[in-house]
Structure 1
Amino acid sequence: MTTNDTPVHQLYLVTDEPACLGRDFYWVVEEAVQGGVTMVQLREKHLSTRAFIDRAKRLKDILLPYNVPLIINDRVDVALAANADGVHVGQSDMHFDMLNEMLPEGKIIGLSAESEEDVVEAENFDISYLAVSPLFDTPTKTDIKKPWEIAGLQWVRKNSTHTLAAIGGINANNIRQAATNGAEIIAIVSAICSAPSPYEAAFRLKSAMHD
């Protein structure tokens, strides 16, 4: 039921409002999209359900003219209410089988993998991408296991048939490593959200994948 034709080397923005440093959240996202971001994940841990849905709907309206899909972190109810393009879940969130039943045909499903066991289990799931998380140490995720590092990413690439996303501690200095060692999707948080110019940061990161 999921889409598996993800283009190689997508730049995936995972939002973090505190990382936007007080600037308008929607401005940061749109600037990043104009700079080269091709997917956006809305991650909200503290908003009420109604406020989360309202934010998702507004963000979807902004992204639609750019043909950039909106993915909702964790909350399938919010994704359905906002008619988002997909959902990303972690290992402690809703199980894939239940999520698969709830989402309409054609929606994107992303799943985090924090261990080798997660990678092996995910081979049974028809997901759109598997997120190697975290690739490097990152202050934005404090509830995860040790980083995979490049050797771990290489192991996942050898043992997974899924499109791979890499997230965690990725910046302009190491994005090329991720892109050349198995990750087709590169997920970025603070390296875009906290950058003086989200547009220029996204542009540089997209270019650095191929340098």
Structure 2
Amino acid sequence: TLNLTPAGRDVLRNRKPITLTKPMEVVARNQKARAGAIECDEALFERLRSLRRKVADERNVPAYVIFSDVSLREMARNYPTTATEFRRIPGVGEQKLKDFAETFLSEIKNYLVGNPRRTFSSRLDLLRPPRGSRLNDSQTETLRRFQKGESVDQIARARGFVASTIYAHLLVAIERGKIADRDRFFTLREEKEIAAAFQQISDGRLVDVSALLGNKYDIVLLRIFRAFATRRQVNPS
């Protein structure tokens, strides 16, 4: 049975209008904002959206079941053309790789026949200027020795630290704009090799970059490379 509250009986008796509220779709809007924040090739993105709709209709499922907008934007940002590259796109697991790689890779390859690849800036969170500019006393001492020409190993031995601690001090100094010379850390060949690996890993996860490079570079060195790249994009001059 249904029970009416006094307010409900008043509505029925006096035929008062009822206003129904609709829950705010906060999650959906936030997801849309996150997807739209990913800079990509918009023309390719629209082609991939059309392809997604076609595949979804053929399978009689909602479009988001095939791929999210985030995944499509990452495809339109990174232009994967091989199964290995496609697998690195967020949202592409083993099953979707098996089911959709050939179809979507074909669309991307066809697009690239008549359109150049575009390059895009790094993620906004990587471009935020570091907080503050001062180093603590220990970091300052490491920087002083480094600027005098001492190597990381020499500084570590002199100060009684492990090398990773010294690298961590130098990383902070780079983020604060205290070190601009990359030559002390990387050769030109190493820079090109690491930069190419970062280009292939869409989300920039260091463990994935390291694996792609055969784990030949310590993670802290990859952090240092990324810090230099970020500083260069924030302050291109």
Q: Is TM-score (shorter-chain normalized) higher than 0.5? A: no
Which structure is higher in RCO with an 8 Å CA cutoff and minimum separation 6? 1
TM-score if structure 1 supplies the norm length? 0.24
TM-score if structure 2 supplies the norm length? 0.22
